[in-house]
A and B are shown apart, each in its own frame.
Chain A
Amino acid sequence: MSEAVALAAEPYAKRRSFGQALILAAPAIFLAAFCITPIILLIQMSFAHHDDGGLWSPGFELTQYKALADPVFLRVVSFSLLLAASTAVVTICIAFPAAYFISRMRRRAQVAWLVFVLGALSLSEVLIVFAFQVLLSSSGVVVKTLVDLHLMATPHSLYPNLGAVVICLVYLVLPYVILFLYPAVSQLDEEMPQAASTMGASPLRTFFLVTTPLMRGPLVSSAALVVIFTVSSYLTPLVLGRPETWTVGVHLSNTAMDAGDMPLAAAQAVVLVTAIIGLLALVRRLGGGGRTAPV
C-alpha cells in the first residue's frame, strides 16, 4: 500500500514549491523542539554521572548501561513485552471482529457504534483505572454478581493481579484499535470472501484463508500500536497490579523518583525508545513487504 502511495505522490514531489516547504516547516520545528530535543537530552543524561540526592553531573560514562544488565531490570523488560504482546492479541481478537461487523451494519447503526467507541476514548485513563478498581473490588458489582450466581464462595477482591491489568489495558486500547481497523475493514472487497465461498471454503476457512491475510497490514500495524501503548503503561499496572506485574514504565519511575538515579532512569528510557523503534522497523517489514492487500 505504501509503495502505491509513494508512486502516486512522485510527480507532485517534483513540483514541491516554497509554499509547501513553509507549510511543512511548522510540524518540523514542532517535532524538533518537543520530540527530538528531549530525546537528545535524554541520551546525554544517560551517559552522565550519578551523584547522591537525586543529582547528576555532566560527563561521559557507561556505568548506567552496564547496570542495565541487572537481572531484575531484564525480567521487568521481558515481562513488559510479554504483557504488551498478550494485550495486543486479546485486543485484536475483540477489535477485528467488532470492526468487521460494524462496517457491515447499516449506515446509521455504524455511526451510532463509532460514536459509542469514540465516547469510550474520551474518558481519561485515570478515571478508567480507578473505575476498574471500584468495579473489581470485593464490594464491586462484578464480585457481587459472581457471589449471587454461586460462582464465588466468599466475596474477595479481583485485583491486584495480572488479569485485572490485562483487562484494563485491553479496555484502554480497544477504541483505538477499532477505529484504526474500521476504515481498512470497510474497504475490504466483499467479493473476495464470496469468491472463496464459491470455491468451497466454509465461512470460518474464508475468514482465515482470505479475510485475515487481506487485512495483514492493518492487523500488524494495530498490534504494534497496542504493544507500544502497553509496554510503557504506568498507571494501570501500578494501581491494578502487584510489584511482580509492574512494567518498565513503573520500574523507570521508581528508579527516577524513589532511587533518585536520573542517569540510570534515562538509560532505561533510551532502551525502551530503541526497542519501540526496532519494533516499528520490524512491523514495516512484516506488514509492508511482499504482497499486501490493496487497502
Chain B
Amino acid sequence: MATFGLQLDHVSKSYQGVLAVDDVSLSIPHGQFVCFLGPSGCGKTTLMRMIAGLEQPTSGTIALNGRDITAEPPNVRKFGMVFQSLALFPHLSVGDNVAFSLRLQGRHAPERRERVAELLKLVRLPGLEKRAISELSGGQRQRVAIARALAQEPQVFLLDEPFSALDAKLREEMQAEFRQLQAELKITTILVTHDQREAMTLADSIVVMGEGRIQQEGAPADIYRAPANRFVANFVGLSNLLSVEVLDRQTVRMGASVLQVASSLAPGGEAMLSIRPENVQLADPALPRGESNVIEARITSVRDMGSNMEVQLECEGRSLMTVVQPREWIGVGAGQTAHVWLPKDHCRVLAA
C-alpha cells in the first residue's frame, strides 16, 4: 500500500558493533513538522543523516511515499538539509549559495535570479544576493542556509540543531519565524534538537529519543502531560520521580502513605510515581484539605525566582520539588512543615 509521507521501518545503525540507532520504526505524514528530541549521543542526528542518505542503515528500510529509497544516494534523494555548522560555501556569494541546487539542475540565469530573489524575500533577506557569507551575522547566515535548502523544493526538509549557535533572544525570534514559514510551505519537516522548549514550541509531533531508541512519540502536550517512561519524564521538562510500591490499579504506597493515582501498573512491583513540579500543591499547614493524597512534608529550601517560588520538600524520605506562584505563597520557611497535595489526575506511575 502506497502511503503518503516518509516511513522508517526497523532502521538500525551500528558503528563497529556499537548501536547508534536501534530498531526505529516511524511514519511521518506528508507536511508534518516533527522534532527528534534527545540528549547528545542518543542517535537523533544519525537517524536524520540516514534519512538524508548521508549514512547507510545497517538494517531496515526508508521509504518515501511508499517507494523504497534506502539505497538512493543523497544527491538523488535531494532532501534539503540545514547542517548544524550551516555549511555555507565561503567561496560563493549569498545569491550563488542559494542558487547552488538550481545551477545543478541546469536552470537558466534569469530563472535562477528570480527564484533566488523570491527565496531571499521569503527568509527576509531581500537584496543581499551579492554579499559574501563572511559579511553576514549569525542570524542572517541561518536564513541563507534555510533559503539554500528550500531552493530545490525538497520533498523532505531536514534541520540539524539549526538554532543552537544563536543567542537566546535571536533563537526565539528565528524559531517563531521558522514555524510560520513551515506552516506556509507545508513541507514535511524534521528538526533535530536537544532543546525541549524548541521541540515543544515548534513541532506538530515530537519523537523523544534516548539510547538509540524511540522512547515516545506524540503531540508535544501529550508527551509533557503523559510521559511514557522515566527517561521521557526526566528529559522533557522537570519531573518529580518518587519510588512507590504498586497496591492495585488505583493506589500505590509511598512510605506510610497510600496515594490515589489515575492509572497504574500491575500490582505488587516497585514503580516510580511521576508528577510535574507545577502540579504539586502546597496546602495551608494548619488546614489540610479534605482531599485524598494530602501528605505532610518538611520544607528543606525555598528559592524566590521572582516570577515564581521553587520549593524543595522532603516527605516520606523522598525529595520533592514544587513551583508556586508568589500570590499563592503561604509564607512558610525552610525547616517548617506543610501539607502537600499531589492531585490524583497528575500522578502517573511508571516502571522503575
Which residues of A does B touch, CB under 8 Å? 189, 191-192, 194-203, 205-206, 209-210, 213-214, 216, 291-294
Contact = CB atoms under 8 A, between A and B. Distances in A.
B154 to A, nearest CB: 8
B87 to A, nearest CB: 4
A214 B91 contact: yes
B104 A199 contact: yes
Interface residues of B, number: 33
Given A198-B158, A206-B75, 9 more contacts: A195-B87, A196-B100, A197-B54, A198-B74, A198-B75, A199-B152, A214-B89, A214-B90, A293-B90
Nearest to B100: A199
Interface in B94-152: 100-101, 104-105, 132-134, 148-149, 151-152
Contacts of B83: 191, 194-195
A24 to B, nearest CB: 31
B336 interface: no
A214 B92 CA distance: 10
Contact of A198 (B81, B85, B90, B91): B81
A62 B53 CA distance: 69
Contacts of B132: 291
A191 B87 contact: yes
A291 B91 contact: yes
Contacts of A213: 89, 91-92
Given A191-B83, A291-B132, A291-B134, A198 B52 contact: yes
Determine which residue in B76, B80, B91 has the highest number of CB atoms from chain A within 10 A of its CB, and name it.
B91
Contact of B90 (A191, A194, A200, A291): A291
A201 B79 contact: no
Contacts of A197: 53-54, 73-75
Given A194-B74, A291-B132, A292-B90, A200 B54 contact: no
Given A205-B104, A291-B132, A198 B89 contact: no
Nearest to A205: B104
Contacts of A292: 90-91
Nearest to A195: B87
Interface of B: 52-54, 73-81, 83-85, 87, 89-93, 100-101, 104-105, 132-134, 148-149, 151-152, 158
B104 A198 contact: no
A291 B52 CA distance: 29
B163 to A, nearest CB: 17
Nearest to B151: A199
Contacts of B54: 194, 197-198
Contacts of A202: 75
Nearest to A202: B75
Contacts of A294: 90
Contacts of A195: 81, 83, 87, 89
A27 B199 CA distance: 58
B104 A200 contact: yes
A206 B100 CA distance: 11
A209 B152 CA distance: 17
B79 A198 contact: yes
Contacts of A191: 83-85, 87
A294 B83 CA distance: 17
Contacts of B152: 199-200
Nearest to A193: B87
Contacts of A205: 104
A192 B87 contact: yes
5 tightest A-B CB contacts, nearest first = A195-B87, A199-B101, A191-B87, A197-B74, A213-B91
24 contacts: A189-B87, A191-B84, A194-B83, A194-B87, A195-B81, A197-B74, A198-B52, A198-B53, A198-B74, A198-B75, A198-B81, A199-B75, A199-B101, A199-B152, A200-B104, A200-B105, A201-B104, A206-B75, A213-B91, A214-B89, A291-B93, A291-B132, A291-B133, A293-B91
A205 B103 CA distance: 11
A201 B99 CA distance: 13
Given A191-B85, A194-B83, A205-B104, A199 B90 contact: no
B249 to A, nearest CB: 50
B75 A200 contact: yes
Nearest to B79: A198
A200 B133 CA distance: 21
B51 to A, nearest CB: 11
Contacts of B101: 199-200
B78 A199 contact: yes
A216 B78 contact: no
Nearest to B54: A194
Contacts of B149: 198-199
Nearest to B91: A213
Contacts of A196: 89, 100
A276 B81 CA distance: 45
A257 to B, nearest CB: 48
A189 B104 contact: no
Nearest to B77: A198
A90 B329 CA distance: 80
Contact of B89 (A192, A194, A203, A216): A192
